[in-house]
Structures are given as C-alpha cells and as structure tokens.
C-alpha cells in the first residue's frame, strides 16, 4: 500500500487553508490552521482509500505544479 501522497495546500479568499491530493481524485479538506489541516487531510486520504480501494488510484502520478500566465480575457459582446 502506498503511504505517501503529495498534498497541495492553498489559502482561500476567506483565509481558510484548503488541501487536496492530486493522486486521489476528489480527496480534499479545509481547516483554519495548518496542524488541523494536516490531521484532516490524513483522515481524508484514509477515507478515500477505504471507500474506493487502493487499486483505483494507480492511474495518476503527480508531476508538479506550474504557474501559467494568461492574458486578460473578455467575454464576446452579444
């Protein structure tokens, strides 16, 4: 069983920390503090593995994060 996962951590506009696991589609949680977030994401990972089985998550491999700049976009005029 794989026991290490990459976790992406972001802060939302309200200051909440949000964690997601790229290798486990739909595995995410949020918390006010980093300590609480790390406990919650470990619980979320365990629940995802229990619910869907370890074999269902071998299809994705985390490669990395890349920042991309996009020019401002404006909607077409109706």
Condensed to tens digits (0 to 9), the pLDDT of residues 8-53 reads 999 999 999 999 998 888 899 999 999 999 999 999 999 998 887 7
**End-to-end alpha-carbon separation of the chain, Å?**
54
Q: Which two tokens stand for residue 59?
A: 């299809």
Q: Which CATH class is domain 8-57?
A: alpha beta
Tens of pLDDT, residues 45-73: 999 988 877 666 656 677 888 888 988 88
6 class by beta-carbon count within 10 Å (0-12 exposed, 13-18 middle, 19+ buried): middle
Domain ranges for the chain, please list them.
Answer: 8-57
| Cβ(23)–Cβ(6) below 8 Å | yes
Q: Where are the beta strands (DSSP E) in the chain?
A: 8-11, 17-20, 28-31
pTM of this structure: 0.74
């Amino acid at each position: 069983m794989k026991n290490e996962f990459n976790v992406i951590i972001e802060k939302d506009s309200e200051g909440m920390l949000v964690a997601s696991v790229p290798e486990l589609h739909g595995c995410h949680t949020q918390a006010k503090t980093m300590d609480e977030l790390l406990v919650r994401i470990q619980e979320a990972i365990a629940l995802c593995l229990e619910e869907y089985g370890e074999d269902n998550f071998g299809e994705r491999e985390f490669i990395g994060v890349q920042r991309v700049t996009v020019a401002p976009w404006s909607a077409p005029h109706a």
